[in-house]
């Protein structure tokens, strides 16, 4: 979506910045030892922000000082400067400051969350709910701002071995950059030019390639993890007519078990990109809806967030549940949503309400995938990126 963890929709404002993915309307369409913006590397030297209690701490949430429980949800608060911890039944109980307009996030095996903000990649110890500092971007993205077109990190992903973080950096008015972070050094070690507004970043299951899905240039850039060599693939099943003003652009992708990338469009077409050949095939989908966030269960079920048909005022939002044989079920959602993750057992989906356009809300929808039922859970500030914590 034009907006995007978690992302935007509609035409893109030329020269606009889209960091928190907050302005996703797109008309007509994710520091060294200092806080400097350009060229400096390393974690900022200022003291890390402590975890703060949410206004109301729900019954059953971890007591202060206790290790965060397995199954806790973590969301990136695009409408603020925090990430929020939510109990999956009772809601928010703590938050940690990370930087302006956090978009996407990824959590490693050690329980560290890497959060793409407008100011750099923040690191959060999710077990103790505390900040470990922030790594500034090497790319100059201009003044720190909020909203859909802000500059800074958008999509973010970890290598399978946890040694690298890959973040798609939006540069307002021009092509984006994939920045590579060494997780041991906690600094940017490489940068790679990519396409415009990288909503999503994914990594091949063997870690050999990284894929940046670029909303405003209608394409995906594949980057070799070892040499950083790139290949660009157009993914535009509706064509590219309209350019920055088009709504029919790629938003998020999922990497299937066979290595192909799945990119849904408008509830009508599923573009399937084979990065080995560059070939794009198109399968039919059944929901009439503008599509954003995607996730895959371990069994291969594809989950796709629908924000409502174009021109509908974002009504008739839905979640598509697509089995491996192509059969689909739709679960209605109350209002637009942005990103999605799934529980380890594959039975529950968590969909963020922090849409990159107007119509967002402060919370998530919890969907029982077997029954097709849902319930709303307040929490976060325009939440986009989301993860289920499996440590503890």
What does the domain layout of the chain look like in residue ranges? 67-388
User: Backbone phi, then psi, for 217, in 5-degree steps?
Assistant: -115, 10
SS3 277: coil
- Kindly tell me if the per-residue pLDDT of 56 is higher than 80: no
SS3 245: helix
pLDDT in tens, 292-341: 999 999 999 999 999 988 876 667 899 999 999 999 999 999 988 999 99
Closest CA to 347 of 367, 369, 330: 369
pLDDT in tens, 183-242: 999 999 999 999 999 999 999 999 999 999 999 999 999 999 999 999 999 999 999 999
- pLDDT-derived band at 167, boundaries 50, 70, 90: very high
Indicate the pTM of the whole model.
0.85
pLDDT in tens, 64-104: 557 899 999 999 999 999 999 999 999 999 999 999 999 99
What is the third-level CATH fold of 67-388? Methylamine Dehydrogenase; Chain H (2.130.10)
Torsion of CA 118, 339, 255, 242, to 10 degrees: -80
Q: List, in order, residues 6 or more apart from 258 with CB less than 8 Å away.
A: none
The pLDDT value given to residue 296: 97
CB-facing half-sphere around the CA of 227: CA atoms within 13 A: 5
Q: Identify which has the larger pLDDT, 54 or 227.
A: 227
């Amino acid at each position: 979506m034009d907006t995007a963890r978690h992302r935007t929709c509609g035409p893109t404002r030329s020269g606009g910045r889209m960091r928190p993915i907050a302005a996703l309307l797109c008309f007509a369409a994710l520091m060294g030892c200092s806080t400097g913006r350009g060229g400096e590397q390393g974690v900022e030297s200022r003291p890390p922000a402590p975890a703060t209690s949410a206004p109301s701490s729900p019954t059953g949430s971890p007591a202060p000082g206790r290790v965060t429980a397995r199954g806790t949800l973590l969301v990136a608060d695009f409408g603020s400067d925090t990430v929020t911890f939510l109990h999956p039944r009772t809601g928010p109980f703590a938050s940690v400051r990370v930087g302006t307009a956090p978009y996407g996030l990824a959590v490693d095996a050690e329980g560290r969350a890497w959060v793409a903000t407008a100011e750099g990649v923040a690191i959060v110890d999710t077990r103790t709910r505390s900040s470990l500092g922030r790594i500034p971007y090497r790319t100059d993205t201009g003044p720190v701002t909020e909203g859909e077109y802000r500059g800074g990190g958008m999509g973010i992903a970890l290598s399978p071995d946890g040694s690298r973080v890959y973040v798609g950096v939006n540069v307002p008015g021009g092509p984006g950059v994939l920045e590579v972070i060494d997780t041991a050094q906690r600094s940017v070690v490489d940068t790679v030019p990519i396409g415009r507004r990288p909503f999503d970043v994914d990594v091949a299951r063997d870690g050999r390639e990284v894929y940046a899905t670029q909303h405003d240039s209608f394409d995906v850039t594949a980057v070799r993890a070892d040499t950083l060599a790139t290949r660009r693939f157009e993914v535009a099943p509706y064509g590219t007519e309209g350019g920055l003003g088009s709504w029919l652009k790629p938003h998020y992708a999922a990497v299937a078990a066979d290595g192909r990338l799945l990119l849904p469009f408008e509830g009508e077409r599923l573009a399937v990109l084979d990065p080995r050949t560059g070939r794009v095939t198109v399968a039919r989908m059944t929901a009439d809806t503008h599509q954003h966030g995607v996730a895959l269960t371990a069994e291969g079920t594809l989950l796709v967030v629908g924000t409502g048909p174009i021109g509908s005022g974002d009504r008739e939002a839905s979640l598509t549940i697509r089995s491996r044989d192509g059969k689909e079920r739709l679960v209605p959602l109350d209002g637009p949503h942005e990103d999605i993750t799934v529980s380890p057992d594959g039975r529950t989906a968590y969909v963020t309400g922090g849409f990159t356009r107007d119509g967002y809300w402060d919370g998530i929808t919890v969907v029982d995938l077997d029954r097709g039922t849902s319930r709303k859970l307040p929490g976060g500030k325009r939440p986009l990126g989301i993860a289920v914590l499996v440590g503890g």
